[in-house]
Amino acid sequence: MEQVIKLNESMVTRARTAADAIADDIQHHIEVHTTDSTERATLRLLGITGVNEIDVPLVNVVIEHAHDLLPGGIMAPFVDLMMQSGKSAQEVAEGVAAGHLTLEDVPAERRAAAERRGVELAVESVARIDAVRRRREELVAEVGEPQRPYAYVIVATGNIHEDAVQAKAAARAGADVIAVIRTTAQSLLDYVPYGLTTEGFGGTYATQENFHLMRASLDEVGAELGRYIRLCNYASGLCMPEIATMGALERLDMMLNDSMYGIIFRNINMQRTFVDQHLSRLINARAGIIINTGEDNYLTTADAFEKGHTVVSSDFINEAFALRANLEPWQIGLGHAFQIDPATPNQVVYQVADAQLIRQLFPGYPLKYMPPTKYMPGDIFQGHIIDAMFNLTGIFTDQEIHVQGMLTEAIHTPLLQDRYLSIKNTQYVFEACRGLAGEVQFREGGVIERRANDVLAKAVDQLEHVRETGLFKALEDGEFADVRRDPAGGRGFEGVFKRASSYFNPFVAALRDGRMSGPPTGPLRTVATVEGGH
């Protein structure tokens, strides 16, 4: 039997009850609002792609032309125009962009027909996503599945062609997941760039063509190595549901997709973010994509020892939102991190307590465990040791998605050789300690048990406080990451619209209906949730 901490079961129940109430309150907001990015995503789901003569994406051009129609949704007027003109979705978008066609309110006598055709088109579009998901399942069965935890490695050169070279090298060294980090500040762009890109700062642009190239590269190296290599990118920012659409169509396997990250760390308007994250997660759910949440970032601005409970609170909230968007537990990669100051006595003991607590609270979830960054020293040898302690904690507490720590984290963007050393460190610790957890037990009343229950109790207090004040007010007050945000401020607020009574978007129902279920490679390992009480 695997080791477990004795947790207060009533506290766990209270935490989920509060998180559910918080999510339900925000869900009411989601269901009566739309955004320009949500409407652009519906056009992308119809298959619209490309840019106009000055490189503005066609979906942006169409939405700008139809600005006054957005409270009712773009689908009915767009589909009506398709039917009246006899043109395809792509041709209509090009015609609107060129000024040859005009989007208008749908006359009452044509409304029913437009909506019927809209439903048919949505079902056809979702079928394309289903086909991509089935292809992933076929490849995993053919090529082979790596042993978990997944070794997750970031590439970020700015040039997608160089990223592909580095990704293959990382896979050959032992990486199981390749994350192509986005160029700095792409999350603040209110459009998705088009085409293959060779310029980027601190990362590479997320574009559908870049996704396609990287997916093909990883399929090639996966066939060579005999294991399926997963591709990850970032469905966050002002274009969250659009990037989720691109990922679904190009067979990404993981996407960073947090419900609050953009609000806290990019000052994107919270009213917009919550609406956008819901559609993005419906898309990810249907596509069989594992989402990763960003609670690790809280501990870069707040103290990990004192504010570790905020990570737990946010995990519960992210779980509640994810379940409301049809994601299954095996798709919900909740985040946390190894970020307690190494100078803290018993640092690793406390790290184990925090990691084991989250493991037990969310059994069967592919937790994403982030490496030390905040306190990484310029001494690469000391940094390598700290990363080894992180690796030990990860394998001991059964984390599933293990982001590789880099010994040069505090010095420069890691080189290929740095990634190689990181992967070898992880492989050694994982194989040396794989059976350790099954051989030990946590001491009742010990430091680990006390720390875990203290963090849980603080998380419950915070969640119940947020339930009383509302999540908008909690974010305004800086409850998470010590960052304050204005509910009516931030980037993208002008793109939020109250839905009209006639609002029509058939994709929500189409994405939910007849979904495929179950992880494509079998159930993840689980541990006992809680035992005992205090």
- Distance in angstroms (rounded) separating the CA atoms of residues 289 and 272: 23
Q: Examine residue 149 and say whether the peptide bond preceding it is cis (omega within 30 degrees of 0).
A: yes
Answer for the pair 444, 6: CB distance below 8 angstroms, yes or no. Answer: yes
Name which of 12, 23, 2, 15 is nearest 474 in CA terms: 23
Which of 312, 310, 309, 303 shows the shortest CA–CA distance to 474? 310
Q: Are 43 and 62 in contact (CB under 8 A)?
A: yes
Q: Tokens in use for 314?
A: 């946010």
DSSP string covering 287-307: HTPEEE--GGGHHHHS-TTTS
The answer to whether residues 96 and 112 touch, using CB atoms and an 8 Å cutoff, is no
Nearest to 419, CA basis, from 428, 409, 410: 409
Report DSSP letters for 143-158, one per residue. H--PPSSEEEEEE--S
Tokens in use for 92?
């209509």
Give the residue ranges of DSSP H helices in 160-237. Answer: 160-173, 208-225
Cα distances (Å, whole numbers) of residue 500 to 100, 167, 282, 490: 27, 46, 22, 24
Nearest to 349 by CA among 456, 455, 451, 453: 451
Specify whether the CB–CB gap between 487 and 266 falls below 8 A.
no
The residues annotated with a catalytic role in the active site are 261, 296, 368
Q: What residue type is assigned to position 239 of the chain?
A: C
Structure tokens at 518: 């179950």
User: If you compute the radius of gyration of the chain from its CA atoms, what whole number of angstroms results?
Assistant: 23
Spatial distance between the Cα atoms of 83 and 76, rounded to a whole number of angstroms = 11
Paired sense of beta strands 496-498 and 33-35, if any: antiparallel
φ/ψ bin of 514: left (φ > 0), alpha (ψ from -120 to 50), beta (otherwise): left
The position carrying tokens 């809680």 is 530
- Tokens for 448, please give them: 């680990």
Euclidean distance between the first and the last CA atom of the chain, given in angstroms as a whole number: 22
One-letter amino acid of 372: P
What stretch of H or E contains 512?
helix 507-512
DSSP label at residue 493: G
Whole-angstrom distance, CA of residue 200 vs CA of residue 101: 36
Nearest alpha carbon to residue 179 among 200, 149, 150:
150
